[in-house]
Amino acid sequence: MRDATPEQNQTVYLKDYTPVPVTVSHVALSFRLDPQATRVSARLTCKRKGSGDMVLDGEMLKLLSIAIDGVPLAADRYSRTDTTLTLYDAPDSFVLETEVEIAPEDNKALSGLYMSKGMYCTQCEAEGFRRITYMLDRPDVMATYDVEIGGDLPVRLSNGNETGPGTWHDPWPKPTYLFALVAGDLLATSDRFTTSEGRDVTLNVWVRPGDEGLTAFAMDSLKRSMTWDEEVYGRPYDLSVFNIVAVDDFNMGAMENKGLNIFNSKYVLASPATATDADFANIESIVAHEYFHNWTGNRITCRDWFQLCLKEGLTVFRDQQFSQDERGFATQRIGDVLNLRARQFREDAGPLAHPVRPESFVEINNFYTATIYEKGAELIGMLRTLVGPKGYDAGCALYFERHDGDAATIEDWLACFETATGRDLSQFKLWYAQAGTPRVQVSETFKDGIYRIDLKQIVPDTPGQTDKCPMHIPLAFGLLSQDGTETQATQVHELTTETGSMTFEMSAKPVLSILRGFSAPVILEFEQTESDRLTLLAHDSDPFNRWEAGRVLAKDRLMRAVTKDAGFDDAWLNAVAALATDELADPAFRALALALPSEDDLAQSLYGAGVVPDPDRIYAVRRAAQLAIAARLRDALPGLRDAMATPGNYDPKAEDAGKRALAGRLLGLQTMLDGGVAARTAYDAADNMTDRMAAFANLLEAGDTTVAKQFENDWQHDRLVMDKWFMAQVAHAAPRDAVTLADTLTRHPDFDASNPNRFRSLMAGLTAGNPAGFHNPDGSGYKFLADWLLYLDKSNPQTTARMSTAFDGWKRYDADRQDLMRAQLQRISGTEGLSRDLSEMVTRMLK
């Protein structure tokens, strides 16, 4: 056998894509499971497509035997590195047989085959299959699978249909990243579903014994998702069984393996006593997301990892549509935009900015980002706006027909819409290539009966990209008269050049409602008059813009309070109070309208406006604003809260959740006034986790010293609830105490950094939940995070690299804080033996 040295930290480029010379059409796998010495036998049916050696991927595999067409392979016919196996002079068509040994118990990276609380499970996206056996571990190689799982574990699952105990056949060709295996002592909640084609499907949600009472909502969400995808996209399910498995140790949210979705247990298990309304909403949307991948991701997959947004952006868009249908358009859309701005706009404004379709990467796991997922979904939404709902349906239908069974590209996707609708999407395609959030400047004039809107777009420079071209921006807008009546219903103006304008003949200046429904992921710069904004807040028929008007008014106040020490004026406080008490408005909407922009949102906006954000000042100003609102509502608060009571059995549906959300906001205001008296009563009376967490957070904010212990005593048996306990304490600590508390909690017997949920709860409690604490001017927050990143990187690089993004805003801050953060980033980057994941992240952040 010849030897070669692998190349570390190599950059992979989209432009270098080349098809494989030899492909694999069928994979037969046989597993003999053992924690330290699992044997994997593989038979790959291979066929030559072009000239060249066959280079298979494999990592941390002990090769026991290798043969072609049953004949052991001579040492000069192949070579190996740490990451590859190359076959020389492979015949035109042959069967490659290998046997390897792996140690799932030692796999703490949670990629490949690993163990979680005694059960075996796999995670193969993006490149985990190569840690199981030698194979062409890339998405454009699609094969059918036969899998045999030996041994006597009671439950043995893989993809496709079960053909005997522990044997599975998957008839649908799939890439390696969709392979899955689960084995252990598990219990199923089962149900049935009959598809529109008449296929009878068994549905199972598998959990560890003890958790079987927590699966009902996930199962219900699955059935509603299956129905929705048939009704809205015409996509039925295609196997006789659909399995979901809950796993406690998981790096991400969930995984769409064909017929065998594997979930972080946080996104499956729920009961009213242990899960909040937000948890229920997450379970519903993630179950839907993974199920929808069966068509957008699995039946049609990605040619290469640069096309990741082809499956993720589209599938996020689909799960957002589903949640809008299930829970109400306005609240869902507002929530999605809040999330987009908090995570994606932040990413787009910093050193990690990248296009929705990147052109290069070092470690693909670092590109499961808000840009690829959430901005990717916005691109689908814009496309739908541009071609209209009918055009969108026609384009999707063509995509499913033309590309079923393919590993496709963004070009393939867009071509379907060009063919189906006749539209030229070449400028639209820039959205996939140009990073950064465009700014759209709007100005208006009214003179001699002519109302004129002027528009200008600015596409900012981002790392590696300057001097960008104008984008194709759909701007949905409407006009209102000064008294709030809509005089022009929503229309879409397409801004395709750097500047544009619109004129209207009118007798009086109208009120402009622009970017309705957030029709494009842009930052609007529009010095609209105060009275126009108040008119929109009171009357806009577009619920998103009605909320947005209130948001802009609040943000204005908070920014001026930070920069000019301005107080909070009556006009604003009265408008907020009017909304809070408006009994005709939906409680969920009122709760959203009462929420002030987050500390990070303000930091980002201040930085965008050329002001260096001071985290302590932002923290103080937000609290002052809350106190002012609370004082204005003082007399109304108790009655308002009583009106939001949801007596009777807990119902996770949107209507009651909206009431609880508003009640929680009002409790926050009341706590500003009474120091925690009402929160204590609410905590003791809570009969569901939503109310309990709201009361808990408020008691912590009020400085209560007993509730944390009480909560712990009540819930220490429940790991998912304890994740909330770790997070909330750090997030709601006084900023100066946050790092010390976080550090103390890392020594709590239940803190286990090897469990990603626990690690993230504590770390994100500080970095995202308590910005003023994380940015403690003494630098202790930065050192604390860096210490833990260096510690966890040795075993779990994926989760570590993801958490390192807490540093991505470092250039926003004052020189002292910048120095402190840079020093920690440099310390990390100078450490010997860093993972490829973390090394790429710190390199990009330091550039």
Q: How far is the CB of 336 from Zn ion (least distance, A)?
A: 15
What is the spatial distance between Cα 102 and Cα 770, in angstroms, rounded to a whole number?
41
290 makes contact with ligand PHE (CB under 6 A): yes
Mention every residue, 6+ apart, whose C-beta is less than 8 A from residue 317: 376, 377, 380, 381
Q: How far is the CB of 279 from Zn ion (least distance, A)?
A: 19
Out of 238, 249, 312, 704, point to the residue binding ligand PHE (CB under 6 A): 312
Q: How far is the CB of 255 from Zn ion (least distance, A)?
A: 8
Residue 255 binds which one of ligand PHE, Zn ion, none, with CB within 5 to 8 A depending on kind?
ligand PHE
- Residue closer to ligand PHE by CB (options 224, 493) is 224
Out of 125, 347, 614, 837, point to the residue binding ligand PHE (CB under 6 A): 125
Out of 131, 138, 289, 346, point to the residue binding ligand PHE (CB under 6 A): 289
Residue 252 binds which one of ligand PHE, Zn ion, none, with CB within 5 to 8 A depending on kind?
ligand PHE
Biggest CA–CA distance in the chain, Å, is 90
Instruction: Provide the 3-class DSSP secondary structure of residue 619.
Output: helix
Torsion angle of the four alpha carbons 316, 322, 326, 332, in this order, in degrees rounded to the nearest 10: 40
Nearest to 109 by CA among 96, 93, 122: 122
Identify whether 290 is a catalytic site residue: yes
Q: How far is the CB of 648 from ligand PHE (least distance, A)?
A: 35
192-206: burial string, b at 16+ Cβ within 10 Å, e else: ebeeeeeeebbbbbb
Tokens in use for 229?
A: 């995808």
Q: How far is the CB of 73 from ligand PHE (least distance, A)?
A: 33
The dihedrals phi and psi of 715, each to the nearest 5 degrees, come to -125, 10
Choose one: 120-128, 323-331, 545-553, 588-596; the region binding ligand PHE (CB under 6 A). 120-128
- Residue closer to ligand PHE by CB (options 31, 263) is 263
Q: Cite the beta strand spans of 175-240 per DSSP E.
A: 181-184, 187-194, 200-207
- Residue closer to Zn ion by CB (options 315, 805) is 315
Choose one: 17-25, 86-94, 122-130, 681-689; the region binding ligand PHE (CB under 6 A). 122-130
Q: Measured at CB, which residue is nearest to ligand PHE?
A: 252
What is the spatial distance between Cα 450 and Cα 447, in angstroms, rounded to a whole number?
5
What is the spatial distance between Cα 726 and Cα 751, in angstroms, rounded to a whole number?
8
- Residue closer to Zn ion by CB (options 170, 312) is 312
- Residue closer to ligand PHE by CB (options 362, 739) is 362
- Residue closer to Zn ion by CB (options 285, 690) is 285
Q: How far is the CB of 216 from ligand PHE (least distance, A)?
A: 22
In Å, what is the CA distance from 159 to each residue of 193, 243, 257?
18, 9, 7
Q: How far is the CB of 156 from ligand PHE (least distance, A)?
A: 22
CB 331 within 8 A of CB 654: yes
Tokens in use for 71?
A: 């004949």
State the pairing for strand pair 473-480/511-514: antiparallel
- Residue closer to ligand PHE by CB (options 255, 669) is 255
Q: Which of 59, 97, 127, 290 is catalytic?
A: 290
Choose one: 83-91, 118-126, 268-276, 298-306; the region binding ligand PHE (CB under 6 A). 118-126
- Residue closer to ligand PHE by CB (options 255, 559) is 255
Report the sign of the C-alpha dihedral through residues 291, 295, 298, 304, in that order. negative
Q: Summarize as ranges the residues that interact with Zn ion (CB under 5 A).
A: 312, 315
Which run of H or of E encompasses 379? helix 376-403
- Residue closer to ligand PHE by CB (options 55, 60) is 60
DSSP-derived letter for residue 340 is I
Q: How far is the CB of 500 from Zn ion (least distance, A)?
A: 35
Mention every residue, 6+ apart, whose C-beta is less than 8 A from residue 438: 457, 458, 459, 460, 471, 473, 520, 522, 523
For residues 354 to 393, the per-residue mask of contacts with ligand PHE, x marking binding by CB under 6 A and - elsewhere, is: --------------x-------------------------
Q: How far is the CB of 124 from ligand PHE (least distance, A)?
A: 8
Q: How far is the CB of 230 from ligand PHE (least distance, A)?
A: 20
Nearest to 263 by CA among 103, 109, 121, 157: 121
Mention every residue, 6+ apart, whose C-beta is less than 8 A from residue 543: 329, 330, 333, 334, 589
- Residue closer to ligand PHE by CB (options 256, 548) is 256
277-311: burial string, b at 16+ Cβ within 10 Å, e else: bebbbbbbbbbbbbbbbbbbbbbbbbbbbbbbbbb
Residue 632 binds which one of ligand PHE, Zn ion, none, with CB within 5 to 8 A depending on kind?
none
The dihedrals phi and psi of 626, each to the nearest 5 degrees, come to -65, -40
Mention every residue, 6+ apart, whose C-beta is less than 8 A from residue 261: 242, 243, 244, 245, 254, 255, 290, 291
- Enumerate residues 197-256 that contact ligand PHE by CB under 6 A: 252, 254-256
What is the spatial distance between Cα 736 and Cα 479, in angstroms, rounded to a whole number?
48
| Contacts to ligand PHE by CB under 6 A | 123, 125-126, 252, 254-256, 289-290, 312, 368
Catalytic residue numbers? 290
